[in-house]
Every structure is written in structure tokens, then in C-alpha cells.
Chains A and B, each alone.
Chain A
């Protein structure tokens, strides 16, 4: 995918007739789960299985760029260029820097180079009966582990199994001087030095180019069940908050505008007991691959699509049409033509924030603006790691 801010993620696929079947303003998807389900495409890739260490040449390129003041656009599989702001710069190509460096299921840790395909990492973990807890969306076959971590986007399991950063145990980065720095490590408990590894998640390369990353992984559950309910949004949010006050094996809670979809994962007894208690109708498990990949029909459309991150129990601000919500109500997808400032203001009033996920005008801000003192702190932190300001300048904020 090219770096066009308005390019949407891959639409729902042939089964849904592409993205055109849905109105841009919160039209609801058709009834029944079948219409939304598009099994994930297997993604054999020409780059797959590649293993090479390009640390030296990448470091050289950054050093030269730092000297000449040339901005660098850090690129993995280039599948998420639509996210964040466009960077004008010489590409720093991470895709060739690939390979799983170490994986031992008894350690619950995988370490891989940034250019390793997400699909390769997941295949390796599956062999060990494990997986990434945060269930990252891939936006195409070329999706790399470095890009997944830098974007910091997590899938439906986020509220139940943690964010991307919660799985990051360590990272080796190239700073803006081209120096190789390692923070954290491969062990779960590690408090030596400031934590400069978890903040790489979601920093969009602003704090360094990730060379490799160590991630904590999770065992696959013994039992999973997917359910759907004809429950209106408000009722569903209320009932979820109630349900989540007691221990449950919930691992997904997504509302498509008409129906609440739940996924239960865990031990046999707990999953079966909760499914029996909740009732509902059985959903195909593949539905969750579609939610995870942002290929649900609710995401198709042309109007600006906003991601609102809210306290789970906060009211959804009335500044657009709700396409769907995930994360038990804490991540709301909204179509809106309202001015960005109005949406930011409304999200912040209920304790959340908003991101223009796609459909931004070139050069416009897409992330919720930071208060002045906080922006100044961000600038100083960026300067600490990237004094020449050459690593993905402006990707997150124009002033960063």
C-alpha cells in the first residue's frame, strides 16, 4: 500500500461486494454473522522465511542521514502507511532485517527482527501452542513485527489480555544517531534502567527504529466459544460492565451496530459454564479474524473514520455515527464529518481521546492534540533519542 492518507484498509472482501455496500454514515451491516465473515487470506509471501541481519547497513544509513539532516521514513511492509501522518523522507527499509532470533516455549518469549513477517512469527508460535496475547491486526501479507509494535494497534483481546506494550519485554533500536541500543531484555521481570522498550509500542518510530523486539507470548486457550446476541448498543455496554465485575473467560466483546458478539477463551469448565449462562446463538469463530483484521463490513465506507478510545463506562459522544465498537465498549469506531476539534473536545470531555483513523486531509493532525506542556515534553524526549529529528518526523504530530 502506498503512503496515501486516504487509502482505506483492505475492504471486506468479495463476499461483501467490497466496501461499496455500506453507506458512509453508520449504516448497519446486514443481519446474521455470515455476511461479515471473510476468512483470513493465507498469506504466503515472497519475503517469507527470510533471515538476515542488516543492522550494520541500517545503522550506516541512519548515521549518514543524521549528518546530512535527511528525514527518514521507516518502512516495514508498508501496510499501515494510511495510519498516522504522512512522512516525506528517504525510506529506511526494515523488511530485509528479518528472522526469529530465539523462541523457546518454556520461556514464553519470542525475539525476532523487525522485518520478520507477522505471519511467520505467528506460525512459529502456533507450533509451540502459543500466540501473541494482543492479537494484532495485520493489514496485508507484508505486515512485519516491527510495524505491528511501532503502530501499537491491538486486536479484540486487548481489554482482556493487554495492549501491545504489555507484551513487550525488550527492544533493540537504532536511535537517531545510528547507535544500536538495547533496552529491557527477554525476561518478564526487569526494572533496570528507564523503560524505553514499552514506549516503542505506538510511538510510530518517533523514538527509534526498532531492530528487534522480545515479546511475551501466551499459551493458546484450551477452549473457545463465540456467541452473538441481538442486543442494542447501550444495553450491551451496560451488561458488559456488569459482567466484567466478576471473573469471566471473556476474550472479545464487539458490537456491530445491531448485534453483540462475545468470544470466551480459557479453561473448559469456565468457558462452557459462562456460555450456558449467557445463551445467545453460536457464532463462527472465524468472525473474530475478521474483527481483528479490521475487515468487518462496518469499517467499509468513504467518510472519515474515527477511533475513539474511551473509559469503558463513559457515554459515547454524539459527534458522529457509531459504526461499531470493540474492547467491551472502550474502542468506538465512528463515521463523522464533524470538525476534528469538535470530536477531540467531545472525546476528552468523557475522559477519552480520538484518532482520525483514516480519511485525513494531507498534512492535518490525526491524533488528539497534546496540552502544551505535554507536547514540549514529547519534543524533549524525541530529541533525547533523535537529536536531528530524522526518524519519522511528523508521523505522529506535525510538531514532533
Chain B
């Protein structure tokens, strides 16, 4: 299990005198914001990837940037690793505590500092919830675009760390496209201002480098986000297909037709049946796959675009097209999609959510291959995903109580990710590498590329104390994992059937 860190493979640190560490931290933080008891730290032992658990040396809850810098200074002085944590909704174990580390929980930095409706920006602290931003700026007719499915709970700081996506990325971009400026503190104690409120900043584009860096480079203490005007019209429809391959083809055809839907989601038979019985969204239970497509724009344009989508779907073999006739019906279409994850609870005690991205044109064959691997591993897989941007979320159903099932689920998940790399995609579209996919990084990148990542980390964090054992594997780990590096879909024996 990957929640066991190995000093040989993940980086070795000199043992820290825990009492000395706590003494120093107590000088910075009041008792209620410094947790050191095992019971008190339990809620922090894992993030959204609950299968992995590990306890830190202490949980620190700073309330402002000054306290963040002070905690980091203590960790630097004593050589203690630091793991930053937002709301703990991440699905890749990125906030899994490293043994002996200080878990830096940023939830107390939860204020929206200012909103500028004319410049269409908001300045917020990292602990602000994603949805809270959109709610706060709604009176101005604005919204914050990236909307990961955890948006009710997840924090904007965590979104920056993971470069979070969501349902509307295809049209409105990822977190990296919607963040203008960051304040960050490095472990060396430097306070950096990155980016600007203008269109660009002098020097390198460090906003891009910081976004998605999974807490390995610096700790973000303030974020200025770009806001967008709420679209004047939003229209949605459902298309049902007798065959998942046809649905996948329709996705490619929609994009090729010059349409950029605001959302384009696909659910396979297993997922849509479960969602339907859970949420009663009105999905046709006998379909092999459905697409949910949303178009927005000026009055008239959204409707015209959706009519074109319907035409493309019909040509691709859709047997049922249903336009949501009002906003209530549109909400119901989405309620089913959003219920897909909780609905899995009715099919199996546990599920494991995978997050690879593939080129859209490979969708039909990859779905077929996943079905074959699912049979081979004896574990059911439901597919619910952001089809428009080729971002797969296969849900592997298993029972953690049943002997060997978790290990088999992990193995199947790893195999699916390696398949994504083989067809020219990536091991993670929006959940991050974290701890979960650390071994698959050895498949996606060459040793020289991994060395470069390590050098970039050292440029920010020479002692390597920020979130060790995550996101970028050591070469020792890759050697141990015995990964076959596949690059650009080229493997040593491309003609051998692999699935």
C-alpha cells in the first residue's frame, strides 16, 4: 500500500525531536489551533482518497500568512517535512500526511478579501470554498468558472495546488486559466508575489508552474481569481445511444463540427442505471450510454448550437434526444450526473475513481479495453466522465472487506492509467498525481524529465521538505517499481496485444 512511505524510495529525513517541534509551534499558535493528540489528528490522517492513511507529528492551523511563514520557519529550522492541506477533498492522496511531518491545514484562511466587479476579479484566501466564490460574486452577475464536482467543499487553495478542472473546462478552462495572481511563502521564508492583475507579468510564467504543483514548491496564502459574466442563456440535452462506441464517436463529431459545448458528459450503462435509480433523473435505463450536453451563450445561439449537437448525435446513431425544456429539467439532467458517484454505493461497498485523459478519437477502443480489463480483474467498472475533454473517470467497484479486492482494484487502476499513456494521454487529468499515481509517473516520464522536475523543486525548496514522497517519484522508486517507460504511445513491442 502506498500509504507506507519508504525512506529509501521517498526521501529520508533525520528524525525530528517531536517535543522540540511542538514547543516551537506552541509559541506561534494558540492551543486550539495546534493539534498533537492522536485522536485529534485522526480527521487529518487521509484526504478524499480514504484508503490511504497516515498520521503527522502535528496539525497546525494558521490563521494568516504571517503564521504560515512562522510555521514554515520552524519546520525549516528543525528539518521537519510539511504537508499543506486545504479542505481534504483531493482524490490522489496529495494531502496524505508524511510521517513526522507538520500538516499545515489552511482552512482558517477562509476570507474573501475583496471583489472588484469592474475588473472582474476577486482576491481570496486559500481556505475559501470554490463554490463560495461564485456565490459571493453572483450579485454582480459574475461567477468563478472551474467547478470540480467537490466544489461545495473543496478550497480554492487546493484547486490551485491540483490545477482542478470540472465539468465546464472545455469552454472555460482549468484553474490555471482562471488564476491571475498568487501570494506564496517558500520554505526558505521568501514571500513571493506571482502573476499580476494585468494580462501578464514580467519574467517566467510562474502562475503556470505553481498551479498544479501539488504543494511541492511553496505554500499559497492569497489568490486573485478571474471572474466571468454569467452566460445569458444555458440549454441542455440528453442523447441516448444503443452502443457506447457510437456515443464516443458522437463526441468527436461534435468537436469536429466546430461546436464548443459548455459541458459534454458521458455515462455508460452501469453508471446511468445506478444514477437513475438513485436520483430519478429520467435517464433511459435501457441505453448503453448517454451524453449530457450543455451549450451556453447569447439568447438564440445556445439553442442553435444545441440543435446542431442533436443533429450530430442523431447521425452518430442516437436513439433518443431530449432537450431540457426548462431550467428545472436541466437541473434534473445534471442531478443524475452528479449523483453518479454516491449512487455507486448501491452497487458496491467501495469504489476507486481513476482520472486519466486520452485523445478523444481513442475513446471507443479505450472503453472497450477497460471493459476487457474489468472482466479480467473480476471487478466491475462504471464510466462517468468529461467526454468533451477526453478526461476519463472509470469507477472501479470493490469491497475493501473482501480479501485481496483493494489490491486488485489498485492493480486495475494502474493498468488503466498505463493504457492512457500508451494511447497518447496522461495518468491524471485533474486529480493530480499525489501519492496515488506516484509509480505511474515512471511510466509517463523519462528519468531525465523526472530529474528536471526534481531540479525545479530544488530551485524552490532545496531541503525537499515540502510534501515529500508525492507527485514526483525518485529515480530509486522508479527502479523499484520496474516501470516500463512508454512515451508518445511507443512501447517496445507496439504490435503485441495488451488488452
A330 touches which of B176, B198, B433, B445 (Cβ 8 Å)? B198
B192 to chain A, nearest CB (A): 7
A171 to chain B, nearest CB (A): 12
Question: Which listed segment binds B: A9-17, A86-94, A186-194, A287-295?
Answer: A186-194
A380 to B304 alpha-carbon distance, docked (Å): 52
| Minimal Cβ-Cβ distance residue in B for A219 | B258
A244 to B229 alpha-carbon distance, docked (Å): 8
A12 to B459 alpha-carbon distance, docked (Å): 45
Question: Which listed segment binds A: B41-49, B101-109, B345-353, B386-394?
Answer: B386-394
Most buried by B among A159, A191, A195, A378: A191
Q: 1/0 contact trace for B295-313 toward A, CB 8 Å?
A: 0011111101100000000
- Residue pair B201, A106 in contact (C-beta under 8 Å): no
Question: Considering only CB atoms and an 8 Å cut-off, how many residues of chain A contact the other chain?
Answer: 88
CB proximity to B under 8 Å, residues A158-217: 158-159, 162-163, 165-166, 175, 179, 181-183, 185-196, 198-199, 201-203, 206-207
CB proximity to A under 8 Å, residues B187-238: 190-193, 196-206, 208-209, 211-213, 216-217, 228-232
Q: B residues touching A (Cβ–Cβ < 8 Å)?
A: 116-120, 140-142, 162-163, 165, 169-170, 173-174, 176-177, 190-193, 196-206, 208-209, 211-213, 216-217, 228-232, 252-253, 255-256, 258-260, 297-302, 304-305, 357-361, 386, 389-391, 424-433, 437, 441, 444-446, 448-449, 452-453, 455-460, 471-472, 487-488
Contacts of B208 in A (CB 8 A): 165, 195, 198-199
Contacts of A64 in B (CB 8 A): none
- Residue pair B448, A374 in contact (C-beta under 8 Å): no
Q: Name 6 extra pairs, CB < 8 A, besides A247-B297, A330-B199, A396-B203.
A: A104-B361, A190-B425, A245-B140, A269-B299, A311-B197, A385-B452
Q: 1/0 contact trace for A364-400 toward B, CB 8 Å?
A: 0001111101100110110111000000000011000
- Residue pair B202, A269 in contact (C-beta under 8 Å): no
Contacts of A241 in B (CB 8 A): 118-119
Contacts of A367 in B (CB 8 A): 202-203
- Residue pair A247, B299 in contact (C-beta under 8 Å): no
A187 to B389 alpha-carbon distance, docked (Å): 7
A164 to chain B, nearest CB (A): 9
With A187-B389, A351-B196, A367-B203 in contact, is A384–B458 under 8 Å at CB? yes
- Residue pair A327, B305 in contact (C-beta under 8 Å): no
Contacts of B429 in A (CB 8 A): 187, 189-191
User: In this assembly, does A270 line the interface, its C-beta being within 8 Å of a C-beta of chain B?
Assistant: yes
A380 to B186 alpha-carbon distance, docked (Å): 14
| Minimal Cβ-Cβ distance residue in A for B165 | A189
With A194-B472, A268-B301 in contact, is A246–B163 under 8 Å at CB? no
A242 to B120 alpha-carbon distance, docked (Å): 10
With A104-B361, A181-B448, A196-B456 in contact, is A191–B432 under 8 Å at CB? yes
- Residue pair B449, A182 in contact (C-beta under 8 Å): yes
With A189-B165, A194-B213, A195-B208 in contact, is A267–B141 under 8 Å at CB? no
B204 touches which of A158, A244, A268, A378 (Cβ 8 Å)? A378
A245 touches which of B117, B176, B200, B213 (Cβ 8 Å)? B117
- Residue pair B209, A188 in contact (C-beta under 8 Å): no
A104 to B209 alpha-carbon distance, docked (Å): 28
Contacts of A130 in B (CB 8 A): 258
Contacts of B141 in A (CB 8 A): 245-246
User: In this assembly, does A353 line the interface, its C-beta being within 8 Å of a C-beta of chain B?
Assistant: yes
A244 to B142 alpha-carbon distance, docked (Å): 10
- Residue pair B199, A159 in contact (C-beta under 8 Å): yes
User: In this assembly, does A105 line the interface, its C-beta being within 8 Å of a C-beta of chain B?
Assistant: yes
Contacts of B391 in A (CB 8 A): 188-189
- Residue pair A108, B255 in contact (C-beta under 8 Å): yes
B394 to chain A, nearest CB (A): 15
A273 to chain B, nearest CB (A): 6
| Minimal Cβ-Cβ distance residue in A for B488 | A182
**Could you pull out 16 A-B pairs where Cβ atoms are within 8 angstroms?**
A107-B361, A152-B200, A187-B390, A187-B429, A190-B357, A193-B433, A193-B453, A195-B209, A203-B205, A269-B304, A271-B298, A309-B200, A309-B201, A313-B118, A352-B196, A377-B460
- Residue pair B198, A353 in contact (C-beta under 8 Å): yes
- Residue pair A190, B428 in contact (C-beta under 8 Å): yes
- Residue pair B297, A267 in contact (C-beta under 8 Å): yes
With A106-B253, A188-B390, A189-B389 in contact, is A246–B203 under 8 Å at CB? no
Contacts of A371 in B (CB 8 A): 193
A188 touches which of B170, B427, B432, B472 (Cβ 8 Å)? B170
6 nearest A-B residue pairs (beta carbon): A270-B298, A267-B301, A269-B300, A219-B258, A198-B208, A384-B455
With A191-B432, A191-B433, A245-B120 in contact, is A203–B204 under 8 Å at CB? yes
- Residue pair A191, B428 in contact (C-beta under 8 Å): yes
Contacts of B456 in A (CB 8 A): 194, 196, 381, 384
Contacts of B231 in A (CB 8 A): 247
With A106-B360, A311-B198 in contact, is A245–B390 under 8 Å at CB? no
A225 to chain B, nearest CB (A): 13
Contacts of B232 in A (CB 8 A): 246-247
Contacts of B452 in A (CB 8 A): 175, 181, 196, 384-385
B449 touches which of A183, A190, A191, A248 (Cβ 8 Å)? A183
Contacts of A108 in B (CB 8 A): 255
A254 to B258 alpha-carbon distance, docked (Å): 27
User: In this assembly, does A119 line the interface, its C-beta being within 8 Å of a C-beta of chain B?
Assistant: no
- Residue pair A247, B298 in contact (C-beta under 8 Å): yes
| Minimal Cβ-Cβ distance residue in A for B391 | A189
User: In this assembly, does A249 line the interface, its C-beta being within 8 Å of a C-beta of chain B?
Assistant: yes
| Minimal Cβ-Cβ distance residue in B for A383 | B459
- Residue pair A185, B118 in contact (C-beta under 8 Å): no
User: In this assembly, does A331 line the interface, its C-beta being within 8 Å of a C-beta of chain B?
Assistant: yes
CB proximity to B under 8 Å, residues A115-155: 129-130, 152
